[in-house]
């Protein structure tokens, strides 16, 4: 219906409270998990997926620390998969050095169909196949995410 008044719209705010090491580096996609639900107004979240209650546009905001990067790494990406679509929302290709860390921040709007799910994944490329030395950090200042229904 496109309205946001009252209790009928989705809002989810999440936090990740633990670090996960050696999950990407060779192009492996690591799906972000969120173990601390701060707000889930209509129970639309079950880690790692947000489920759209209504068809329409949703705002997704995220901040996560990608750490223990290596000289061989060539790119850091953050992507969202939602309703059969894939959105590249963050790409970093600058000079990466051993033990660098990059704070990934993004805020974007995505279109979702009611009942479909969305999740965020991190992918770091450049290392030899089978080498996954890069981690994704947790903690209040390093990993937070929110989803909010904007309207049809």
Tens-place pLDDT, residues 25-64: 888 888 988 888 999 999 999 999 999 999 999 999 999 9
Which pLDDT value is given to residue 140?
A: 56
Q: Which residues of the chain have pLDDT under 70?
A: 1-7, 138-141
Name the phi and psi angles at 124, rounded to 5.
Answer: -115, 135
Q: Is 38 left (phi over 0), alpha (psi -120 to 50) or beta?
A: alpha
Burial code (b: 16+ CB inside 10 Å, e: under 16) for 114-135 equals: eebbbbbbbbbbbbeeeebbbb
Cβ 45 vs Cβ 38: under 8 Å = no
Q: Are strands 102-112 and 117-125 parallel, antiparallel or unpaired?
A: unpaired
| Burial classification of residue 34, based on how many CB atoms lie within 10 Å of its CB (0-12 exposed, 13-18 middle, 19 or more buried) | buried
């Amino acid at each position: 219906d496109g309205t946001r008044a009252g209790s009928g719209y989705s809002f989810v705010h999440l936090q990740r409270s633990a670090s996960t090491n050696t999950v990407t580096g060779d192009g492996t996609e690591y799906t972000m998990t969120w173990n601390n639900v701060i707000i889930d107004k209509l129970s639309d979240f079950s880690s790692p997926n947000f489920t759209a209650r209504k068809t329409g546009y949703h705002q997704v905001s995220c901040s996560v620390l990608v750490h223990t990067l290596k000289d061989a790494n060539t790119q850091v990406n953050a992507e969202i998969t939602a309703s059969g679509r894939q959105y590249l929302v963050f790409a970093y290709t600058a000079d990466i050095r051993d033990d660098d860390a990059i704070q990934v921040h993004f805020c974007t709007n995505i279109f979702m169909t009611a009942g479909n799910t969305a999740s965020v994944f991190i992918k770091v490329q450049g290392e030899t196949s089978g080498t996954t030395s890069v981690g994704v950090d947790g903690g209040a200042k390093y990993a937070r995410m929110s989803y909010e229904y904007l309207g049809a």
